[in-house]
A = this chain, B = another copy of it.
Amino acid sequence: MNHKPLILVTNDDGINAPGMRALVEVAQEFGDVIISAPDSPQSGQGHAITLKDPLRLKKVKLFEGSEAYECSGTPVDCVKLAKSVILKNREIDLCLSGINHGPNHSLNILYSGTMSAAMEASLEGIKSIGFSLLDFSWKADFEHCKPFIKELIEFVLGNNMSNCNLLNVNIPKVSDNKIKGFKVCRQAEARWVEEYVEGTDPYGQKYYWLTGNFVNEDHGSDTDVWALENNFISIVPSGHDLTNYKAMPDFKSLE
């Protein structure tokens, strides 16, 4: 790369999230940083895009040395707006999403706005990394994440990533001297067991509010959940091709 990299930073917790600030601080060491992020928390928005409503974009002064825009849409909308409107289709060298407050390992890649934003950039051929810390707290300490994120950005900017331009990275909630390093993993085969809290609103109408427990039924030691439980930072090389190639012959008799 002969030029200063252009780096897009986004997230799903909203532009004011401390995790985003930590990521911007690291990104600024590597190139010109543009921030395009939701104006409100968008956790669980998955790959949703806004079709029925117009979107708003507002330039905000939040990060010294970088232009920042808050957007009224979903995380995927933020990436699309950044590419088409803010950057007018200039080439983006890297997209960083996060640092998410809370895990996005295993099947959570499907629900996660953080990962969907990174995936959206990767669909455009942009090298993309989604980062998550296993700490839901707004006061989470992201300092110990920074050297690892730095190492990963260096690696990604220095490699062509022709086989894969999307990484799902989760960081355990332990001090940096306890982190054992990176582990390249597959997505664990886990699931959510849902429970709805039932109640009655002030107007007498019944409601259901989603809660759930995460259950990992995958006992492999090559998964992201295993890596995190053992104090590794999990790296899952990811993509957007959901074809189940192995199962294709099972349906050939229909042809």
Contact = CB atoms under 8 A, between A and B. Distances in A.
A46 interface: yes
Contact of A242 (B81, B194, B242, B251): B242
B239 A196 contact: no
A72 to B, nearest CB: 9
A179 B246 CA distance: 26
B251 A184 contact: yes
Interface stretch (A2-10, A24-32, A104-112, A170-178): A104-112
Contact of A246 (B49, B163, B242): B163
Interface residues of A, number: 80
A33 interface: no
The A contact surface, by secondary structure, is: mixed
Contacts of A240: 107, 110, 242
B123 A191 contact: yes
Contacts of A155: 251, 254
Contact of A110 (B47, B205, B238): B47
A55 B207 contact: yes
Contacts of A196: 55, 80-81, 84-85
Which are the 3 A-B pairs with shortest beta-carbon distances?
A164-B247, A46-B47, A54-B207
Interface of A: 41, 43-52, 54-57, 74, 76-77, 80-81, 83-85, 107, 109-111, 116, 119, 123-124, 151-152, 155, 159, 161, 163-164, 166-168, 181-184, 186-187, 189, 191, 194-196, 198-199, 201, 205-210, 235-248, 250-252, 254-255
